[in-house]
Amino acid sequence: MASRPVSYMPADTYLALERRAETKSEWIDGETVAMVGASREHNLIVANILGELRQQLKGRPCEVYPSDMRVKVPQSKLYTYPDVVVVCGEPQFEDAHVDTLLNPTLLVEVLSDSTESYDRGKKFGYYRTLPSLAEYLLIAQDDYKIEHYVRQPDGKWLLSDAQSLDDTVTLAAVPATLSLREVYDRVTFA
């Protein structure tokens, strides 16, 4: 979740400040945008996904990261913090700080009122420029719904969605399966 941007800042200045900051900010083509807190539902969903993926990927060549792993999208000049990041194979980092991932396989964003249009639109457009990205999940926090985008061999993205607690989402690139019942465990809707 983000708030209003502040004035222009070069990428190297952003990274130097961000590495010392007590709060997180995204960087979008020279503008920093402070990240704001998340709801109980958002946090439960993220924790449930992390737990499920961690368990299923144990012993496999994939790493699962929470929202503190920064991802760089070079073509769009974006540094961002997805809610969940998975990289399969050897992770590539921007520099020796090993805190900015360059080659995610799966990105997950939990939608909120303040970020939904950005996560669906511009941010997904930026993410699509990452050659390593094979799958993208958008997860509602106010309804049982997961939208699953999969990159096709021709570079286009195929959307499928799951909208019932009995549904599962199969992540082929990772590989893992997410049950909506597990993703939404202990989540209640207003």
Listed by start position, the domains of the chain span 38-183
Query: Cis omega before residue 175 (within 30°)?
Result: yes
Strands 135-139 and 106-110: parallel
Tell me the CA distances in angstroms from 90 to 86, 87, 114, 185, one per residue in order: 11, 8, 34, 31
CATH superfamily of 38-183: tt1808, chain A (3.90.1570.10)
User: Given a cut of 70, is residue 5 above it in pLDDT?
Assistant: no
Distance CA 176, CA 77 (A): 30
Tell me the CA distances in angstroms from 88 to 46, 57, 63, 103, one per residue in order: 19, 10, 6, 9
Strands 70-73 and 100-101: parallel
Q: Which amino acid is at 58?
A: K
User: Given a cut of 80, is residue 176 above it in pLDDT?
Assistant: yes
Q: pTM (2 decimals)?
A: 0.92
* pLDDT, position 190: 78
Q: If you average pLDDT over residues 137-159, what whole number do you get? A: 97
pLDDT for 78-129, tens place per residue?
Answer: 999 999 999 999 999 999 999 999 999 999 999 998 889 999 999 999 999 9
DSSP class of residue 41 equals: H
DSSP class of residue 75 equals: G
Percentage of the chain modeled with pLDDT above 90: 84
Are 41 and 142 contacting, i.e. CB atoms less than 8 angstroms apart? yes
User: Given a cut of 90, is residue 182 above it in pLDDT?
Assistant: yes
Confidence grade of residue 1 (pLDDT, cut at 50, 70, 90): very low
* pLDDT, position 6: 52
Confidence grade of residue 76 (pLDDT, cut at 50, 70, 90): confident
Count CA atoms closer than 13 A to 109's CA, side-chain side: 25
Residue with tokens 């020279």: 30
Q: Which helix or strand (DSSP H or E) is residue 57 part of?
A: helix 40-57
Are 77 and 8 contacting, i.e. CB atoms less than 8 angstroms apart? no
User: Given a cut of 60, is residue 69 above it in pLDDT?
Assistant: yes
pLDDT for 7-36, tens place per residue?
Answer: 789 999 999 999 999 899 999 988 988 888
Q: Which helix or strand (DSSP H or E) is residue 90 part of?
A: none
Percentage of the chain modeled with pLDDT above 70: 96
